[in-house]
């Protein structure tokens, strides 16, 4: 699949206009991604924590990812959560959710599923198009729309999370099933209680496996750029161990069906 260079300007990506209905959008048709998709989840927003789920590539690649589908299904199983998807534009336009055409700034929590190193810059472009502070260090302590908690996960982070670490408040290292439901429930409760960003991150890092909060760790490097030491702040786990589902009676399967998957190799 060909790759595209992207830039983000004034909340737009060059080069999806996210097709769809909802606020400021048009009615779905068979020619739009969700017009022919089966398994789409739509929820009312009232009294629910809005979660944006990002996949840093175009819709055909996103809908082909079982990991992305799994996180979408797990998040929406919780009644207190409304989770909507964002994908990379296939043409110039605003960065808006597939389900309701809302901007990224409307969401309190951002999840991103990262499968390939080639998509790292795409992910940063999506955050920039949402007019969000790109690095975790620049985000205010208050959590809410326009100042969301940003969490990355996906198979690419298993190999090396550090290239994306400056942009993530939290990274989930390993499989989503063992940790995501409790993570979302914890975040929803702490946000409702008005907890600040670092307090939420410390709670997640202390209580849930696989949760790496890069801001609580510092690195020393040698003359050739190699890591010589990693220092964790007080009470932080000195080592992050990946989460693993283990044996299960049900294998992973597609929950979304679309005539537009990407079935070709890149």
What is the chain's pLDDT, residue by residue, as a tens digit (266 residues)? 444 444 455 555 554 333 333 444 443 333 456 777 888 889 999 999 999 999 999 999 998 888 899 999 999 999 999 999 999 987 777 789 999 999 999 999 999 999 999 999 999 999 999 999 999 999 999 999 999 999 999 999 988 999 999 999 999 999 998 999 999 999 999 999 999 999 999 999 999 999 999 999 999 999 998 889 999 997 898 889 888 877 766 666 677 777 666 655 44
Q: Is residue 134 part of a domain?
A: yes
74 vs 111: CA distance, rounded Å: 12
Q: Is residue 242 part of a domain?
A: no
Q: Is residue 244 part of a domain?
A: no
Q: Is residue 167 part of a domain?
A: yes
Q: Is residue 204 part of a domain?
A: yes
Which CATH number do you get for residue 119?
3.40.50
Q: Is residue 259 part of a domain?
A: no
Judge whether 196 and 210 are in contact, CB under 8 Å: no
pTM summary value: 0.84
What total of structural domains would you count in the chain? 1
Q: How many CB atoms lie within 10 A of CB 207?
A: 11
What residue numbers bound the domain in which 71 lies? 14-25+40-232
Q: Is residue 254 part of a domain?
A: no
Whose tokens are 């399967």? That residue is 253
Query: Could you tell me the sign of the dihedral formed by the alpha carbons of 137, 139, 143, 147, in that order?
Result: negative
């Amino acid at each position: 699949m060909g790759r595209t260079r992207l830039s983000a300007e004034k909340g737009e990506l060059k080069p999806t206009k996210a097709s769809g209905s909802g606020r400021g959008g048009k009615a779905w048709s068979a020619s739009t991604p969700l017009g022919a998709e089966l398994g789409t989840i739509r929820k009312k927003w009232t009294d629910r924590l809005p979660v944006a789920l990002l996949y840093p590539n175009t819709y055909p690649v996103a809908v082909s990812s079982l990991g992305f589908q799994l996180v979408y299904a797990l998040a929406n199983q919780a009644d207190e959560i409304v989770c909507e998807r964002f994908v990379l534009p296939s043409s110039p336009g605003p960065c808006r959710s597939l389900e309701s055409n809302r901007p990224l700034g409307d969401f309190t929590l951002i999840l991103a599923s990262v499968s390939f190193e080639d998509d790292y810059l795409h992910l940063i472009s999506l955050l920039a198009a949402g007019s969000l502070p790109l690095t975790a260090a620049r985000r205010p302590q208050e959590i809410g729309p326009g100042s969301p908690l940003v969490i990355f996960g996906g198979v690419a982070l298993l190999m090396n999370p550090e290239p994306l670490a400056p942009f993530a408040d939290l990274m989930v290292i390993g499989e989503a099933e063992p940790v995501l439901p409790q993570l979302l429930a914890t975040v929803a409760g702490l946000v409702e209680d008005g907890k600040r960003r670092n307090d939420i991150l410390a709670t997640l890092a202390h209580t849930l496996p696989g949760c790496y909060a890069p801001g609580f760790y510092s690195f020393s490097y040698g003359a050739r750029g190699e890591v010589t030491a990693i220092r964790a702040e007080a009470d932080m786990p000195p080592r992050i161990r990946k989460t693993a589902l283990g044996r299960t009676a049900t294998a992973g399967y597609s929950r979304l069906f679309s005539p537009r998957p990407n079935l070709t190799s890149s």
